[in-house]
């Protein structure tokens, strides 16, 4: 995911800097050490409060998403508010069973004994969220951290200021302020926060900023979850249903005006169907947004002027044929949903994550060539393959590596709570959603229980030949 404001690894003290944040984190750590967040009843109350917050303030959250991103009300609900509600409800249904000690069978060598894995809270977590899905990508990890019994410092993005302000006001109103704090601000505040010692840092954003977060975390040996980005490909085989592929790729790409970390970043279509696919993409965009997408209420806007200029630069230097779209309006932060054909391979649009409503479509001679292109690049956050052949899809999945994938659809793998969501390599470290989110914010402590009797002397010195024979047979 692309950011414009990056924290540095240097500490910058201010009235809202290291001193204030050290005190903030110390207070949260004290609450955690006192066991304030451990009772399952407390966790349930907080998770229910999150749902109440979303339900009672849905209209205000939708308006904030509209102000920051021009988000249509339908997208605001499904992608941010409704998606968050679904995940929190899933956590509420299962977190008590996830928190229960897990039985583990013990080998003969330690018998008689019992083994348990006991999930325990890590302590105080820092959650830094991005601007593109400012509700979903902040509240979901907060819910996972609370379910695991942690205290939380939540840092919404300053690039979605309306959503940041609403969340900063609502979260303390609904959640326990002894355990959950919200810090607003930009680079200075994020940098000062990163100078503190946390027990886990959960960051969603760009790969470049992820490196900075990881460097800051390393000073305290703090574990991290990094949800990053990259150029996620869509491969379209000649035997794909092109009507379906066009609709689903257009939906996945132009949701939130292309500002989605798992949006298809470029399409590799077999040459025999590429032009037909592009034609169907054009028809689909008219079906979705009409002849003039600028004046529909169903298409959003680029988040700010800096991102608009970056995207305009990618478009202008692509050396591609514009198949559909291409219109821009800086004052309105508008870039039309745009399909580009055959951009220059060395152009910035083919080297950088686009993170906006521009979609390059390239021809390949075969699925094998598409796989070679994908594997020649850094591992992406998502990969999409469209084919009528399950064997072709399985072959692509076997030969490529990505954080997640869909066969014959785009972006929908983020929806099921039982499917882990995360990257691989430069597209991310760690994953969450459902039980894996609970485990991400937990230490899974191994405990072996032994009775006091019997206490055979087999393992104790002196080590005799007979003891050695018995041990070797047992092991």
What is the set of active-site residues?
Answer: 227, 261
Nearest CA to 301 out of 254, 240, 247 is that of 254
Instruction: Tell me how crowded residue 13 is: count the other CB atoms within 10 A of its CB.
Output: 13
What tokens were used for 336?
């039309």
Instruction: Tell me how crowded residue 290 is: count the other CB atoms within 10 A of its CB.
Output: 13
How many Cα atoms are found within 13 Å in the side-chain-facing hemisphere of 113? 15
Nearest CA to 401 out of 365, 428, 419, 435 is that of 428
What is the DSSP secondary-structure string of 333-363?
A: TEE--EEEES--TTSGGGTS---SSEEEEEE
Give every strand in the sheet of 233-236, ordered side by side. Answer: 321-324, 338-341, 358-364, 266-270, 233-236, 382-386, 404-407
Cis before 379 (ω within 30):
no
Burial 84-93 (b: 16+ CB within 10 A, else e): bbebbbbbbe
Nearest CA to 402 out of 385, 420, 371, 427 is that of 427
Burial 108-127 (b: 16+ CB within 10 A, else e): eeeeeeebeeebebbbbbbb
């Amino acid at each position: 995911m692309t950011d414009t404001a990056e924290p540095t690894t240097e500490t910058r003290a201010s009235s809202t800097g290291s001193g204030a944040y050290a005190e903030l984190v110390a207070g949260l750590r004290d609450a955690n050490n006192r066991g304030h967040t451990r009772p399952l009843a407390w966790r349930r109350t907080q998770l229910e409060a999150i749902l109440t917050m979303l339900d009672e303030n849905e209209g205000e959250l939708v308006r904030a998403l509209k102000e920051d991103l021009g988000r249509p009300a339908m997208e605001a609900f499904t992608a941010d508010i409704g998606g968050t509600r679904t995940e929190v409800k899933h956590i509420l249904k299962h977190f008590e069973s996830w928190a229960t000690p897990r039985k583990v069978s013990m080998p003969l060598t330690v018998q008689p004994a019992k083994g348990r894995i006991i999930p325990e809270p890590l302590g105080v977590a820092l959650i830094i969220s991005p601007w593109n899905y400012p509700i979903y990508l902040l509240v979901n990890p907060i819910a996972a951290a609370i379910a695991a019994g942690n205290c939380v410092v939540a840092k919404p993005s300053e690039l979605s200021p309306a959503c940041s302000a609403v969340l900063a006001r609502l979260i303390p109103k609904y959640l326990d302020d002894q355990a959950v704090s919200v810090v607003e601000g930009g680079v200075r505040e994020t940098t000062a926060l990163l100078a503190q010692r946390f027990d886990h840092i959960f960051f969603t954003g760009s790969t470049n900023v992820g490196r900075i977060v990881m460097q800051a975390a390393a000073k305290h040996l703090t574990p991290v979850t990094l949800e990053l980005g990259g150029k996620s490909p869509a491969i379209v085989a000649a035997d794909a249903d092109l009507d379906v592929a066009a609709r689903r790729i257009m939906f996945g790409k132009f949701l939130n005006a292309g500002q989605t970390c798992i949006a298809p970043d470029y399409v590799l279509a077999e040459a025999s169907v590429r032009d037909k696919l592009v034609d169907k993409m054009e028809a689909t965009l008219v079906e979705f947004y009409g002849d003039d997408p600028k004046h529909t209420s169903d298409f959003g806007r680029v988040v700010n002027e800096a991102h608009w200029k970056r995207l305009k630069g990618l478009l202008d230097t692509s050396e591609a044929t514009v198949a559909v779209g291409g219109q821009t309006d800086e004052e309105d932060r508008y870039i039309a949903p745009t399909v580009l054909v055959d951009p220059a391979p060395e152009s910035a649009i083919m080297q950088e994550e686009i993170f906006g409503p521009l979609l390059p479509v390239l021809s390949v001679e075969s699925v094998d060539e598409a796989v070679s292109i994908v594997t020649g690049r850094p591992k992406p956050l998502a990969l999409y393959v469209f084919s009528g052949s399950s064997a072709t899809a399985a072959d692509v999945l076997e030969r490529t590596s990505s954080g997640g994938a869909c066969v014959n659809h785009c972006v929908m793998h983020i929806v099921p709570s039982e499917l882990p969501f995360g990257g691989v390599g430069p597209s991310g470290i760690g994953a969450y959603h459902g039980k894996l989110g609970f485990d991400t914010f937990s230490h899974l402590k191994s405990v072996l229980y032994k009775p006091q009797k019997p206490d055979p002397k087999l393992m104790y010195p002196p080590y005799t030949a007979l003891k050695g024979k018995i041990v070797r047979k047992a092991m």
